[in-house]
């Protein structure tokens, strides 16, 4: 074609050189038309290279179909691309219906491509530095409930469990927002004051009378554990139980320090290292914030890395 410049025209468009018919620049040259005709003929010949390339390129689309179209079919094996895009939700009813429909078309084998587990950590913000305002619940040892039991009765049950084999409860006297407890320890009496507020938060006791050494020996026994707050956790209970098992397999123990509406205070321990974490969640059990509060930053980073690995987070 280049040997006959009088039979075509050069057009410069968007940085490219296009060759068009000399008389009508809207049309292809007769050289290009002849070339296209030759290629199209070869595309229909199974032994030609053009035919092989064309059909090889179509292989990846040959057996693909949408989930909606696949509803009418059943297949021995199904490869299901579960990626719908960044802005499509994964916790709504329509998504699970879509997944169910796609999976149900496979008779014996279904492989999920681009699958990411649905977990409470889907949209979690991990904060490696303490928030400006973080609740301090270190001094809260018992959250009183609004059940029929009085504060004194609930405290008595708590102390029986904690002080078993260490001290004996002699008396509990009640005042407004105060429980005065008399114990016998090592053959001597010790009096403790347990204060609590209108929210039912009972704090670490004060020593009224008795030996200071005995009081210091009792203090480590007055801690809040997950057993006291399990009924308060609500939608997070089953998740936290599974989460604790996962961490335990990695040598990390978890303890719920306190539970309030929509947030939890957690303590994690690995050998001699401890870290406190503030966790916020919503009514669906999804975790919005997972924030470092105090303790080992290295342990916090390790826990976050485990979460991202186990729950396949980016």
The predicted-structure confidence for 164-196, as pLDDT tens digits, reads as follows 889 999 999 999 999 999 999 989 999 999 999
| Mean pLDDT calculated for residue range 73-83 | 89
CATH 3.10.450, the chain: domain bounds? 140-221
Q: pLDDT category, 254, cuts 50, 70, 90?
A: very high
Assigned fold of 140-221: Nuclear Transport Factor 2; Chain: A, (3.10.450)
Residue among 38, 14, 18 nearest 26 (CA): 18
pLDDT tens string 79-100:
999 888 776 777 778 888 999 9
CATH of domain 125-136+226-310: 3.30.310
Asked if 71 and 105 touch (Cβ cutoff 8 Å), the reply is yes
- The set of residues, in sequence order, having a beta carbon less than 8 Å from that of 17 and lying 6+ positions away, is 10, 11
Q: What predicted TM-score, i.e. pTM, was given to this entire model?
A: 0.50
- The set of residues, in sequence order, having a beta carbon less than 8 Å from that of 227 and lying 6+ positions away, is none
Quick check: 227 pLDDT over 50?
A: no
- What are the b/e assignments for 53-69, b being 16+ CB within 10 Å? eeeeeeeeeeeeeebee
Poorest-pLDDT segment among 6-15, 59-68, 119-128, 275-284: 59-68
- The set of residues, in sequence order, having a beta carbon less than 8 Å from that of 76 and lying 6+ positions away, is 106, 107, 108, 109
Quick check: 223 pLDDT over 60?
A: yes
**Which pLDDT score is estimated for 198?**
85
Asked if 288 and 123 touch (Cβ cutoff 8 Å), the reply is yes
Q: Which residue has the tokens 């693909």?
A: 64
Quick check: 27 pLDDT over 60?
A: yes
pLDDT tens string 7-26:
777 778 778 877 777 777 77
CATH 3.30.310, the chain: domain bounds? 125-136+226-310
Poorest-pLDDT segment among 33-47, 124-138, 152-166: 124-138
**Which pLDDT score is estimated for 226?**
43
Poorest-pLDDT segment among 10-19, 50-59, 295-304: 50-59
Q: pLDDT category, 60, cuts 50, 70, 90?
A: low
| Mean pLDDT calculated for residue range 122-133 | 79
Q: pLDDT category, 313, cuts 50, 70, 90?
A: confident
């Amino acid at each position: 074609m280049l040997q006959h410049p009088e039979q075509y025209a050069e057009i410069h468009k968007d940085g490219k050189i296009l060759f068009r018919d000399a008389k009508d620049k809207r049309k292809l040259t007769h050289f290009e038309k002849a070339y296209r005709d030759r290629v199209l003929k070869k595309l229909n010949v199974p032994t030609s290279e053009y035919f092989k390339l064309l059909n090889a390129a179509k292989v990846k689309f040959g057996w693909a179909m949408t989930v909606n179209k696949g509803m009418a079919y059943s297949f021995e094996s199904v490869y299901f691309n579960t990626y719908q895009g960044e802005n499509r939700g994964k916790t709504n009813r329509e998504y699970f219906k879509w997944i169910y429909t796609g999976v149900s078309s496979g008779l014996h084998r279904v492989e999920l491509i681009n699958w990411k587990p649905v977990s409470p950590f889907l949209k979690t913000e991990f904060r490696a530095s303490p928030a400006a305002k973080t609740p301090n619940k270190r001094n809260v040892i018992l959250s009183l409930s609004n059940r029929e039991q009085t504060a004194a009765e609930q405290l008595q049950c708590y102390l029986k469990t904690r002080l078993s084999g260490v001290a004996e409860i002699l008396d509990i006297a009640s005042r407004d927002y105060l429980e005065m407890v008399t114990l016998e320890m090592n053959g001597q009496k010790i009096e403790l004051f347990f204060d609590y507020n209108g929210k039912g938060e009972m704090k670490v006791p004060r020593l009224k009378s008795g030996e200071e050494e005995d009081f210091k020996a009792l203090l480590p026994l007055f801690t809040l554990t997950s057993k006291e707050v399990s009924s308060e956790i609500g939608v997070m209970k089953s998740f936290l139980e599974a989460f604790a098992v996962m961490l335990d397999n990695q040598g990390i123990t978890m303890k719920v320090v306190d539970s309030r509406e929509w947030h939890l205070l957690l303590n994690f321990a690995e050998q001699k290292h401890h870290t406190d974490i503030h966790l916020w969640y919503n009514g669906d059990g999804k975790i919005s914030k997972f924030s470092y509060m105090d303790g080992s930053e290295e342990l916090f980073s390790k826990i976050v890395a485990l979460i991202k690995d186990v729950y396949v987070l980016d």
